[in-house]
Amino acid sequence: MTRDNDTIDEETALLSPNEEQQGPTPLPKVQIAIVLLLQLCEPIMSHSIYPYINQLVSELDITGGDERKVGYYAGLIESLFFLTEAMMVMQWSHLSDRVGRKPVLLFGLIGASLSMLLFGLSRTFWTLSVFRLFINGIGIMKSVMGELTDSSNRARAFSLIPVIWATGITLGPLMGGTFSRPHERFPTVFRGQFWIDHPYFLPCVVVASFIGFAFTVALLFLKETAPGCRKRTSTVDYSRARSSERPVALRNLLVYPVLISVSNYMTLSFLSVMLYALLPLFFTMSIEIGGLGFKPLTIGYTMGMYGLGSGVFQALFFARIVRRFGTRGIFVGGMISFIPIFLLFPVMSAVAQHSGVNIIVWLLIALVLLLMPLTGMAYGCIFMYITASSPNKHLLGATNGLAQTSVSLARAFGPAISTSLFALSVEKNLLGGYAVYVVLVAISCLAILLAVRLPEKMWEEKKGDEIERS
């Protein structure tokens, strides 16, 4: 079977409107499995530091002993991962077009593993920041996935990525929380002064080892997929007529359906990443300044439970809920759920300051973790809108590229903004230290106003209705 002559790069749309009539092409299961293993490295790397990053900043005396300033520095370190990823994804993609996907992936995995090890050995804010900037080339994963699939089976393959992401945000915090401060948790094994001086090196070693395992699998078994670089041994023809393609002008994408869909994708990602950066900071800070005073182990298990619950919930119920309430209804509901989530933070803080971390606080934490999967379901909905918003089938790739670039920028600035707002609120005692939540609720309300601008029916469905009436 011959694939469509579509360009497969970082701007390739996840879904294609043209399903092949003769049935889907069987997926190359081994290669897809390897790609998903490599994709798993990204959420593990980005989320493994959340359980301990705030305590690390406090212990290194980066803030000069002022615990209220931890959010400024921790948020910046967290944002650097996504900022560099946003800046470098196109460069990595262009390089992989010339030298092949596999060399870039292998080089990126080596860099990722080394950066995690060096991050664990860092003792200053600047070295933590520099080694967090060593972002790898695994961001070209969509290119590889696209080249392993065609229009008949691409949706099926890409539907596995949210499952992998949920797995990564479960394993990452578990690794970070379980193996931090090993000289306290496993004193008979980790007894030397080195582990006292570098209490968060072991979780970095665990993550680096996982990346090393992925590197070995890719080195031995991953096949090259880039046109012009791969050996033509497959039964699928991956040839392209790149020289005949014309670049897409940005003005062709500046139409209402694309703009409203991409804008909602940005606001969803912006709120999500701010929440995920704020949560471990809130868990870490002492009760006196508005937090809960949890240890990294507790934070890791709590955040890991959210990732696990979210993945299972979406796998079991997402399709049924969308059929029942509609794509727009679920997306708007997901955006609305940010409001009670952010409002529960000051309630938890107030209860903890009055009575300590008791059963009521844990019930409120459980409520937050139950509401968060609703925000996760909004992603699946907005992906559908983005796909349907393309002006025509030839601009699907460019539409998705615009969306991915925009959301990368939102993720780059979100962590630093939310954690800095927390630090500013407690440092200046703005609204009793709770001003950060007022701002986040206000942003959530604005996001809802944008969400309700989405149509009840997606644009391609409207076109179908018009054809039927005519």
pLDDT tens per residue, range 307-364: 887 777 777 777 788 888 888 999 999 999 999 999 999 999 999 999 999 999 999 9
Burial of residue 370, with CB atoms counted within 10 A of its CB: 0-12 exposed, 13-18 middle, 19 or more buried = middle
User: Phi and psi for 186 in degrees, rounded to 5?
Assistant: -130, 65
For the ranges 60-74, 325-339, 444-458, the lowest mean pLDDT is seen at: 60-74
**What is the spatial distance between Cα 272 and Cα 335, in angstroms, rounded to a whole number?**
10
* Tokens linked to 401: 């590229």
Residue-level pLDDT at 378? 87
* CB neighbour list of residue 405: distance below 8 Å, 6 or more residues apart: 86
**What is the spatial distance between Cα 426 and Cα 421, in angstroms, rounded to a whole number?**
9
* CB neighbour list of residue 470: distance below 8 Å, 6 or more residues apart: none
| Residue 390 and residue 403 in contact, taking contact as beta carbons nearer than 8 Å | no
**What is the spatial distance between Cα 373 and Cα 337, in angstroms, rounded to a whole number?**
9
| Residue 89 and residue 42 in contact, taking contact as beta carbons nearer than 8 Å | no
Which has more pLDDT, 390 or 431? Answer: 431
* Tokens linked to 393: 């089938």
Angle 219-225-231 (CA atoms, 0-180°, nearest 5)?
Answer: 85
pTM of the complete model beyond 0.75: yes
**What is the spatial distance between Cα 26 and Cα 71, in angstroms, rounded to a whole number?**
48
Count of beta carbons in the 10 Å neighbourhood of residue 427: 16
What is the mean pLDDT of the segment spanning 159-175?
83
Count of beta carbons in the 10 Å neighbourhood of residue 64: 6
What is the mean pLDDT of the segment spanning 227-239?
50
Residue-level pLDDT at 462? 54
* pLDDT category of residue 438 using cuts at 50, 70 and 90: very high
DSSP 4: P
**What is the spatial distance between Cα 322 and Cα 381, in angstroms, rounded to a whole number?**
8
Closest CA to 34 of 233, 222, 167, 161: 222
* pLDDT category of residue 235 using cuts at 50, 70 and 90: very low
Closest CA to 368 of 449, 448, 437, 442: 437
Per-range mean pLDDT, top range of 92-106, 230-244, 409-423: 409-423
| Range list of H helices, 135-200 | 141-147, 154-158, 161-178, 182-185, 193-197
